[in-house]
Amino acid sequence: MRVQRLSLDFFGQFTDKTLDFGKVNSPADFHIIYGLNEAGKTTTMEGYLRLLYGFSMREPYGFQHQRANLQVSGLLEIDGETRSFTRLSLRNGNLRDKAGTVLPDAALASHLGGLSSEDYRNLLCLDDETIEKGGDDIANARGDIGRLLFSAAAGVPDLNAVLEQARNEANDLYKKGGSKNRVAELKRQLAEVEDNIKKIDVNANSWKRLKEAFQTAQNEEIEAKKARDELRLELAQVSALRRTLPKLGEIDRLLPKLEPFEAYPEKLEVTSEHLVALKTQQVTTQAELKRLTAEITNAEQELEAIVLDEGRLFLADRLKGLDQLRSRVQISVHDLPMLRSSCSEILSNIKRIALELGAEDEANPKKIVKTPSEIASLEQLKDEMTRAVTVKDAREGEVKRLRELVRTAQEDHRSLLDNAQAQNGLIALFKRYDVDSLAPAAATAMQAIASSNETLQDALAALSMGQLEFQDVPECPVEITEADKLADQHTNHTANITRADETISQHEEDVAVKSAQIAKLEASIGVTNDENARQARLQRDTLWRKHRAALSPETADAFLPSMKHVDDIEEARLSHARELGELRQLEQTLVEAEARLEATKRRREGLQSQAEAIEGQVEALTTKIGLPIMSPARFRDWVERRNIAAGAKRNQEKLARQHSKILDQADKLHEALVPLLPLETPDFESALAAARKLSEEEKAYNDKVDGALEKKVALEKELEGRLSDFAELADAAEKALGNWADKVHELFDGAVLPDMLTNAIGQLRDARELNEKLQHATSQVSSMERDQHEFANAITALTEEFDVDESDHLKAFLTLEGIANQAQTDKVKHDGLLKKVAASKEKRKTTEAQLDDIDLQVAEIGALFPETEDTSTLDALRITVSKANDVVQWRTQKADLEKEVFTELSVQTLAEARDMLSEETSATLEGKFASIDADIESAEARLSQATADRANAERDLDTLSGSADIAYLVEQRATIQIEIEEALLNYVERDFGLRLAEEAIRRYRDKHRSGMMNATERSFSELTNGAYQKLITQPDGSSEILLVVDANGIPKQMADLSKGTRFQLYLALRAAAYEQMVSQGVQLPFFCDDVFETFDEDRTRAACRLMERIGRSGQAIYLTHHRHVVEIAKEVCTTQPLVHTI
């Protein structure tokens, strides 16, 4: 895209402002828009963006025209076509074409390379803000435009962010040492489940018996499954034999059909359709050969009938040489008589002009014809004479008017002096006291002091507490910071006490609730609690030790009831294991709640004592000041108000000191004014106002007298000068009249009078033009007569040579022309026949070759078949090929059947397959299949019973191991282990894929980014005159940042560069990005708004050359108010930039 014309119809300060960039007529499309500050350069760039993207809701450039009337239009070159667009300030349908037809936004947006308005502004419309903001984003791959350029340079947009997201998802699954990922969470769940399994007791003997039963049932299930699988395998083998038997029969049927055709080719590339096409081509080619032979014979006969005459062939060239002469002669036949008449008429007009200027009848009229320089000298002298007389007359009128003005000014001045007013000296008094400065200063001082007094009284009133009032600022023994500290501490303690009370209430409620829950649960289960169970076990263990030591019936009788009692307790507790666990949890929670309640009560007592201590400190301070008892917060507010009152008092004293000198001067001026005024004891302001009025009247009279005197003196001086000038002008007018008369006499020697010529110089010019026409007409007459004579001689010679009987030379030319044309026609026909014969012979040769090629193809295809087959003609060959295609189909069918037999029986040859089926028939295979199928049903029944037995044994084992809880925990443990395995596998797959992707992307970026990096390095090195020569990128989290390397090899970040160097890097990045965009087919105008301001002169030169280079691949437009930038660009650019001034 290119801007050919941009019209700011109603935009910003512009109305119908047009910038015409024209068509590209030079190698570089580089433009500079120059204008002073506020001329509208930035407005121009913004107008271009509005044309592309439309107006914003809050349009900043609608300050002169109403927003609804804003309009920008332009003529754009798009894909080699010039199109007109107009953008209106409408919500919908705001893009129009030249005819006013509404266009969709895509009519422009589709040619912008996918750039949004913000992208275009940051990338291709640069000013101080966008070049740095967008450039910093580019260098650090931040923002939309930064990511766009870094990814566009590599050809893989947004991959860093995508990879970072994928890495985070992998880390959410597993991260070494991490505690908040999926695997770590599953491990914690697994540990909890295993702890719960270990806490449940199991009877060892019962568990062993059930475990053995489970193992036996499991082994039976495995054996039954094995037997069932063996039968299934045998059934599959019989099924394969059943399917294979008919296929062998089909193969045996195909063998006799194939035996007679063993010599036929295994594979045939040709088809019957191809042979039909070949037959059609043969017939067509034979007919074409016959036609070409007849055509050649006819053309050769026509050639023999044509006879060529060399002399008549060259006649056309000879007549062509006479064609221009003939045209002139033909014109002269009509024009020559008129030209001769025109010469006579012109000479008569010159004579008439001479008589009008006063010349004698017998005088030569050409004497009045003068040269242009002579006429110009006459005109100059006449203008000088006219100006001199006109100026003299005008000055004479001015002198007369000025004399009247002088008389009037003298009378006015005399009248003012005769009516003089009395002087009272107020003007001198005002000057001595500098009233213009003193009056506002005194008013300000009085107002400031009055305001400070009022502020102090308000501040003292704010200190009052009930009946206690203060006439002066009281002393305070504490600073505001200490009062703030005491108030804040007391507020915090009070708030903490309130929260503690709420917490105590909550803890007391929790203790009550937990106690009630424990009592209810104990009553509902009715079993021995933990302590009684522990005492029963201790008693049993004591009796067991006694029995073990004595081994007597007595100790056995004592131990047996105790052991039974413990077993009964454990059995009851085991049946209520869940409720006992809940009871233990409630008891533990109750103990914790009681402990928290006591701790909160102790903390509340401490807070209360601290708050009371602070209240005691505040009470002591208020007593010392004489204030009533108040809270720490109210005391802080009173101290703050007291500090405000103290500040107001200090401000009052300061203002009194500052304004004392001004007020003293005001008092002295007041004393001096009172005796001069007709007022009784006026104050300062009244006295000053009355004195000002009297002073202004006195000053007005003095100003009138001085003004009248100045006016009188100035007019008298001006009159004196005008009188002197008038004398000089009168002399000059008289001299100019003399010069005019002398020149007329010199040129015409008395034949023309000066007075006659004064208003007739135009007739001299007419005579001059008539004389030039006369000379031109005379020359034309002579030329035409020469042409007629030359043409007659040439035509006479040709008519004699070619025996043409015609006296009229023009008619004779036409006759000769007909002879020449006929000779040329015969020559063209002869040459055409020769070419036709040659072409037809060449086509005949090609046609014969095509027939030979067809015969060769027939012979090659026939060679594939045995000699016994007839392949001598295309028709016979087509029959043989059709038969061969059937043979190939049979062979393919036989091969497919053999392949299926080999696959079904897992053999390598047909002999092996026949051996396997040698003793089998369809009947025997059907019997075997039915027998095995019945055995499988029995095996399935055995397996089902074994599976049921194994399931029952497993259920019994799980019941002994903790009933449903143990089964649930074991199942949960297995599920968690599977989830851990899946999570780790998922992580490994993601991690491996990410490593491969990162490596591939790194290689891809290194390969594809080199173009943009190299372009940026070249531009940046050029802009900095070699101070920086290399750029490198450095990873930074999920993005990359750009580093520059100086001439000493030291890398630097953006913050290490000066503003000018940063701008040069940002400009180089834009230039490289622009080059990349152009290479991808996106070509858009590139704007820069005075971004060279921070460049020194050498780098400005380099920047101008860079803009010229951008203009060679697109359109570059630079806006500036610096004239030296324009001059530098003109100096350094190979192709001069086009400068537009606004």
* 249 inside domain: no
* 402 inside domain: yes
Whose CA is closest to 1102, among 1067, 1059, 1057?
A: 1067
pLDDT category of residue 530 using cuts at 50, 70 and 90 = low
Q: What's the CATH code of the domain at 613?
A: 1.10.287
Query: Span 27-56, mean pLDDT?
Result: 93
Last residue of a domain, one of 1066, 1083, 1100: 1083
- CA dist., res. 1129 & res. 1138, Å (int): 10
Task: Let me know whether 565 and 708 are in one domain.
Answer: no
Sequence-ordered list of residues with C-beta below 8 angstroms from that of 889, at least 6 positions apart, any chain:
none
User: How many domains does the chain contain in total?
Assistant: 4
What is the token pair recorded at 1058?
Answer: 């000066």
Backbone CA torsion sign across 901, 905, 908, 913 = negative
Of 118-122, 566-570, 745-749, 1004-1008, minimum mean pLDDT range: 1004-1008
Task: Let me know whether 640 and 568 are in one domain.
Answer: yes
Amino acid (one-letter) located at 1094: T
Question: Would you call 88 helix, strand, or coil by DSSP?
Answer: strand
What are 280-314's pLDDT values in tens digits?
888 898 888 888 888 888 888 888 888 777 777 78
Instruction: Determine the angle formed by the axes of helices 809-862 and 761-801, rounding to 10 degrees.
Output: 60
Q: Is the confidence at residue 148, as pLDDT, over 50?
A: no
Query: Span 1122-1133, mean pLDDT?
Result: 93
210-219, 450-459, 1102-1111: which has the highest mean pLDDT?
1102-1111
Question: Which domain covers residue 123, as residue numbers?
Answer: 117-200+962-1083
Task: Let me know whether 681 and 739 are in one domain.
Answer: yes
* 590 inside domain: yes
Task: Let me know whether 647 and 733 are in one domain.
Answer: no
Query: Span 603-617, mean pLDDT?
Result: 90
Q: Is the confidence at residue 149, as pLDDT, over 70?
A: no
Q: What is the pLDDT of residue 6?
A: 96
Secondary element (H or E) of residue 750: none
Task: Let me know whether 579 and 525 are in one domain.
Answer: yes
What is the token pair recorded at 634?
Answer: 């109210």
Helices (H), 419-552: 426-433, 435-462, 480-525, 530-550
Cα radius of gyration (the chain) = 62
Task: Let me know whether 137 and 184 are in one domain.
Answer: yes
- Spatial contact of 1121 and 41, defined as CB atoms under 8 Å apart: yes
* 121 inside domain: yes
Q: Is the confidence at residue 1086, as pLDDT, over 90?
A: yes
44-53, 111-120, 191-200: which has the highest mean pLDDT?
44-53
As a whole-number percent, the residues of the chain with pLDDT over 70 amount to: 91
Q: Is the confidence at residue 1090, as pLDDT, over 50?
A: yes
- Spatial contact of 1138 and 30, defined as CB atoms under 8 Å apart: yes
- CA dist., res. 59 & res. 56, Å (int): 5
* 38 inside domain: no
Last residue of a domain, one of 1033, 1052, 1083: 1083
**Strand order, beta sheet including 1039-1046:** 1028-1036, 1039-1046, 1051-1052
What is the token pair recorded at 711?
Answer: 């006016």
Query: Span 1028-1035, mean pLDDT?
Result: 79
CA atoms within 13 A on the CB side of 928: 17
Task: Let me know whether 534 and 594 are in one domain.
Answer: yes
Q: Is the confidence at residue 922, as pLDDT, over 90?
A: no
Task: Let me know whether 378 and 476 are in one domain.
Answer: no
Q: What is the pLDDT of residue 412?
A: 82
- Spatial contact of 627 and 468, defined as CB atoms under 8 Å apart: yes
- CA dist., res. 316 & res. 819, Å (int): 9
Q: Is the confidence at residue 981, as pLDDT, over 80?
A: yes
CB environment 206-234: b (16+ within 10 A), e (fewer)? eeeebbebbeebeebbeebbebbeebeeb
- CA dist., res. 533 & res. 958, Å (int): 26
Of 346-350, 461-465, 760-764, minimum mean pLDDT range: 760-764
- CA dist., res. 950 & res. 146, Å (int): 67
Q: What is the pLDDT of residue 84?
A: 95
Task: Let me know whether 132 and 159 are in one domain.
Answer: yes
Question: Would you call 1070 helix, strand, or coil by DSSP?
Answer: helix
DSSP letter, residue 51:
H
- Spatial contact of 958 and 967, defined as CB atoms under 8 Å apart: yes
Whose CA is closest to 769, among 1098, 407, 350?
A: 350
What are 814-871's pLDDT values in tens digits?
888 888 888 888 888 888 888 988 998 899 899 989 888 888 888 888 888 888 888 7
- Spatial contact of 755 and 763, defined as CB atoms under 8 Å apart: no
| Number of other CB atoms surrounding residue 927 within 10 Å | 12
**Total residue length of the chain:** 1142
Identify the burial level of 1134 via C-beta atoms within 10 angstroms of its C-beta, where 0-12 means exposed, 13-18 middle and 19 or more buried: exposed
Identify the burial level of 1046 via C-beta atoms within 10 angstroms of its C-beta, where 0-12 means exposed, 13-18 middle and 19 or more buried: middle
Identify the burial level of 1043 via C-beta atoms within 10 angstroms of its C-beta, where 0-12 means exposed, 13-18 middle and 19 or more buried: middle
Instruction: Determine the angle formed by the axes of helices 435-462 and 632-658, rounding to 10 degrees.
Output: 160
Amino acid (one-letter) located at 757: L
Amino acid (one-letter) located at 1028: Y
Task: Let me know whether 521 and 648 are in one domain.
Answer: yes
Q: What is the pLDDT of residue 152?
A: 42
- Spatial contact of 548 and 519, defined as CB atoms under 8 Å apart: no
Task: Let me know whether 991 and 1064 are in one domain.
Answer: yes
Question: Would you call 110 helix, strand, or coil by DSSP?
Answer: coil
Instruction: Determine the angle formed by the axes of helices 660-673 and 435-462, rounding to 10 degrees.
Output: 120
* 706 inside domain: yes
- Spatial contact of 244 and 913, defined as CB atoms under 8 Å apart: yes
Task: Let me know whether 682 and 753 are in one domain.
Answer: yes
Backbone CA torsion sign across 674, 677, 681, 683 = negative
Q: What is the pLDDT of residue 573?
A: 65
User: Which phi and psi angles does 410 have, rounded to 5°?
Assistant: -65, -40
Q: Is the confidence at residue 1116, as pLDDT, over 60?
A: yes
Query: Span 781-809, mean pLDDT?
Result: 84
Helices (H), 659-683: 660-673
1-5, 98-102, 248-252: which has the highest mean pLDDT?
1-5
**Strand order, beta sheet including 71-78:** 14-20, 2-11, 71-78, 81-88, 95-96
Instruction: Determine the angle formed by the axes of helices 426-433 and 684-748, rounding to 10 degrees.
Output: 100
Question: Would you call 125 helix, strand, or coil by DSSP?
Answer: strand
User: Which phi and psi angles does 419 have, rounded to 5°?
Assistant: -115, 50
Q: Is the confidence at residue 145, as pLDDT, over 50?
A: no
- CA dist., res. 892 & res. 884, Å (int): 12
Last residue of a domain, one of 1083, 1107, 1128: 1083
For the chain, the average pLDDT equals: 83
* 516 inside domain: yes
Query: Span 481-497, mean pLDDT?
Result: 90
* 47 inside domain: no
Query: Span 159-175, mean pLDDT?
Result: 77
- Spatial contact of 600 and 507, defined as CB atoms under 8 Å apart: yes
Secondary element (H or E) of residue 620: helix 577-625
- CA dist., res. 947 & res. 1073, Å (int): 73
Q: What is the pLDDT of residue 203?
A: 47
